[in-house]
């Protein structure tokens, strides 16, 4: 006779068996994705659209390994502890095949360490810190986006050419900002040994006192400024610096400021003449980009931002890894990522066996103004493989696996 206690016991067993179903036995291949959607919406709303476009294209073409793919997303609140908790939930409850995503560098590093502990593949989409592939690199973590070192290296030729001696630096005081600053100082010193760094301003991320920062830089009387500010911090700095005349006669270099996510909100306040990395989406004429642009605009009735490219390329990287591995076994997926080539809107990129960094490039140029809106001018594309340190340098930085 079935008692209430026996029924409950059977229900518990059935439920536990459901959660033990391996990813390979599911009707779809689930890819676990986490990101700071509420905290960094300017970049991550377009990023999510890019992922959606990639999923649609892959499934319309028959999926992968005979199954459709599904991206299961969770918000990590921009918090490393929350990201690890979410990663655990995606692996144990959602039974995802592996993990992708993250935005801020500190969150990316936390998930990379979690992936190492769980022996699970992790494709870091956006975090730019160099540590994720070098100092803290591990066998299970790979990174798509052009890193702080790489983007800084792309700006250095123009910076060195100007031969400005007195430099001020401003950055958000967290992993991305400190990493970018360290790379800039090292690389510029190598090209110009007599350079002086006359002041460094490091406000907390999202809490800049832009007036005070701009005034402190003005008081130091620099010839040039290097900044890695982005988002609302960048907008406030541009506004306060312009009002104080800080940028008159001073050359300014800023990572990311040419990305539509951060350039478009500035409108007519866009700082003309700044040297930047970015994304001149409406001027790129390559076949790969035109195909992506047409599909994106047809689906969303909007233009892509750089986040759109990153989201799309992250999913395509995940799919390429699954195809190459032929199975969802973690060790085979990780092995497939080594020297994996993936088609993206920026051309083919390769995940290097040496350090798990992709060779995705970036656009470098200057900010102009057209019809009351900031644009990139005099831009050029720099292949990521040409902006990396030597293999010997990387081997010294990256721990043995």
Q: Cβ contacts of residue 134 below 8 Å, gap of 6+? A: 355, 394, 397, 398
Residue 297's contacts (CB-CB under 8 Å, 6 or more residues apart) are 303, 304
Tokens matching residue 128: 């730019």
- Beta pairing partners, 31: 71
Question: How far is Cα 240 from Cα 137, in angstroms, rounded to an integer?
Answer: 39
* Alpha carbon distance 337, 339 (integer Å): 6
Burial classification of residue 182, based on how many CB atoms lie within 10 Å of its CB (0-12 exposed, 13-18 middle, 19 or more buried): middle
pLDDT computed for residue 165 by the predictor: 97
pLDDT of residue 399: 85
The pLDDT of residue 400: 77
* Domain 20-147+285-361: top CATH class: alpha beta
Domain 149-283+362-392 has CATH 3.40.50.2300: yes
The predicted pLDDT at position 152 comes to: 97
The DSSP annotation for 246-313 comes to: TTTT-EEEEEEEESHHHHGGGGGG--TT-EEEE--TTT---HHHHHHHHHHHHHHSS---HHHHHHHH
The CATH 3.40.50.2300 portion of the chain extends over 20-147+285-361, 149-283+362-392
* Whole-number Å distance between alpha carbons of 388 and 401: 21
Low-confidence ranges of the chain (pLDDT < 70): 1-25, 401
Residue closest to 176 by CA, chosen among 215, 129, 139: 129
> What share of the chain in percent tops pLDDT 70?
94
């Amino acid at each position: 006779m079935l008692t209430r206690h026996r029924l409950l016991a059977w229900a518990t067993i059935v439920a536990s068996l459901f959660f033990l179903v391996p990813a390979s036995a599911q009707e779809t291949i689930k890819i676990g994705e986490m990101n700071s959607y509420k905290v960094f919406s300017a970049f991550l709303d377009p990023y999510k659209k890019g992922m959606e476009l990639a999923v649609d294209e892959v499934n319309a073409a028959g999926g992968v390994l005979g199954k459709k793919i599904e991206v299961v997303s969770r918000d990590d609140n921009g918090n490393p502890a929350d990201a690890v908790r979410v990663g655990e939930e995606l692996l144990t409850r959602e039974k995802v095949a592996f993990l992708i995503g993250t935005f801020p560098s500190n969150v990316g590093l936390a998930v990379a360490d979690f992936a190492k502990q769980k022996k699970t593949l992790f494709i870091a989409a956006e975090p730019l810190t160099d540590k994720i592939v070098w100092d803290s690199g591990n066998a299970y973590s790979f990174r798509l986006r052009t890193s702080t070192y790489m983007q800084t290296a792309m700006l250095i030729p123009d910076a060195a050419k100007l031969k400005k001696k007195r430099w001020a630096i401003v950055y958000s005081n967290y992993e991305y900002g400190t990493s970018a600053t360290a790379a800039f100082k090292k690389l510029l010193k190598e090209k110009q040994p007599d350079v002086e760094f006359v002041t460094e301003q490091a406000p907390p991320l999202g809490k800049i006192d832009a007036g005070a920062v701009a005034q402190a830089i003005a008081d130091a009387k620099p010839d040039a400024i290097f900044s890695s500010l982005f988002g609302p911090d960048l907008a406030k700095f541009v506004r306060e610096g312009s009002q104080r005349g800080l940028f008159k006669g001073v050359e300014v270099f800023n990572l990311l400021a040419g990305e539509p996510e951060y350039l478009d909100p500035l409108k007519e306040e866009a700082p003309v003449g700044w040297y930047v990395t970015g994304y001149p989406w409406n001027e790129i004429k390559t076949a790969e980009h035109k195909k992506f642009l047409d599909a994106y605009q047809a689906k969303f009735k909007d233009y892509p931002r750089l986040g759109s490219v990153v989201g799309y390329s992250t999913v395509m990287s995940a799919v390429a890894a699954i195809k190459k591995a032929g199975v969802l076994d973690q060790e085979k997926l990780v092995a497939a990522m080594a020297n994996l080539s993936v088609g993206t809107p920026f051309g083919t990129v390769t995940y290097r066996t040496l350090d798990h960094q992709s060779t995705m490039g970036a656009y470098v140029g200057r900010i102009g103004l057209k019809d009351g809106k900031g644009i990139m001018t005099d831009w050029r594309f720099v292949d990521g493989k040409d902006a990396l340190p030597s293999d010997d340098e990387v081997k010294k930085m990256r721990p043995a696996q």
